[in-house]
Amino acid sequence: MSALLKMGKRQLFLMSSSAVHGYEYLQHAEKDISAYFKKNNVSKVLFIPYALSNHAGYTEKVGTVLKRWGFDCEGIHTHNNPVQAVREAQAIYIGGGNTFLLLKSLYDNGLVEPIRDRVLIEAVPYVGSSAGTNVATRSIHTTNDMPIVYPPTFDALGLVPFNINPHYLDPDVSGTHKGETRQERIEQFHELNEAPVLGLREGSTLLLDGDNAKLIGTSSARLFRPQKDPEEFESGADLSFLLAGN
């Protein structure tokens, strides 16, 4: 995490999900992603599809949408040297899927430090969705995914000093399910960990510009911190306080 000590003006676009009810794939974030890329002079995106096994199909799915919006897209799997691809990328987009598979693949390909350096030192724009948002945080401890493979560590990219829970679901008070709620699982995390956890509901995105963080999108978010009641934040809220001391 030494890169955190010499941080540049990071640019992060962290989505809860690419698919939201009532919208076509990525449509809920079309205006915000397009504005984000244009602001950062991005014309070509490096897509990292490691969270799913069908790299070509996944890249085509995302690339079709981005190209319709006016941005070129290439999959990192098409490069013989993925580290060099990261070093040359205008923007990095990591898609969703299985977080454990994704993080293991990033470590196996030697990409954790190169991505961290490019984002934190060189301010290369980063887009994450679901698992891609999970790996942008301190660790993947608060993912919803099953551990289908074993990454060498749960430590992630560390682009922000807190954790995120994508696809956050509120308890269904009228339902019959009596298992643990998402809130209870996050509270269990806080029995052993101090990092705040931002629960991003579907349609919500955390947008970072340097040390400024703002909640955008079509939904709200819920923040969990140890020994404190959960806090609700609506779209448009300033969440820069989560970056304090980073």
Hey, what domains does the chain have and what are their CATH numbers?
Answer: 2-171+179-243 (3.40.50.880)
Contact 93, 45 (CB under 8 A): yes
Reply yes or no on whether the pLDDT at 4 is more than 60.
Answer: no
Distances (CA, A) of 145 to 45, 50, 73, 78, 134: 26, 14, 27, 26, 10
Q: pLDDT tens for residues 139-192?
A: 999 999 999 999 999 999 999 999 999 999 998 777 777 788 999 999 999 999
Q: Identify the active-site residue in 16, 139, 141, 145.
A: 145
Better-scored residue on pLDDT, 3 or 195:
195
Q: Strand 72-75 to strand 221-224: parallel, antiparallel, or no bridges (unpaired)?
A: unpaired
Reply yes or no on whether the pLDDT at 8 is more than 90.
Answer: no
pLDDT-derived band at 129 (thresholds 50, 70, 90) equals very high
Q: What is the pTM of this model?
A: 0.94
Contact 133, 14 (CB under 8 A): yes
Q: Write down the pLDDT at residue 190.
A: 98
Distances (CA, A) of 51 to 105, 116, 161: 8, 18, 22
User: Average pLDDT of the chain?
Assistant: 95
Return the ∠ at Cα 220 (arms to 204 and 18), rounded to 5°: 20
Helices 99-108 and 112-120 cross at an angle (nearest 10°) of 90
Mean pLDDT of all residues in 224-232: 97
Helices (H), the chain: 30-39, 55-68, 82-88, 99-108, 112-120, 131-134, 182-189
Q: Write down the pLDDT at residue 2.
A: 42
The owner of tokens 């709620």 is 181
Of 37, 10, 42, which is closest to residue 115 (Cα–Cα)? 10
Q: pLDDT tens for residues 49-88?
A: 999 999 999 999 999 999 999 999 999 999 999 999 999 9
Q: Identify the active-site residue in 77, 79, 167, 190.
A: 167
Query: For the chain, what percent of residues have pLDDT higher than 90?
Result: 91
Assess whether 167 carries a catalytic annotation. yes
Assess whether 72 carries a catalytic annotation. no
DSSP state, 194?
Answer: -
Reply yes or no on whether the pLDDT at 197 is more than 50.
Answer: yes
DSSP state, 34?
Answer: H
Assess whether 130 carries a catalytic annotation. yes
Q: Identify the active-site residue in 17, 130, 139, 219.
A: 130
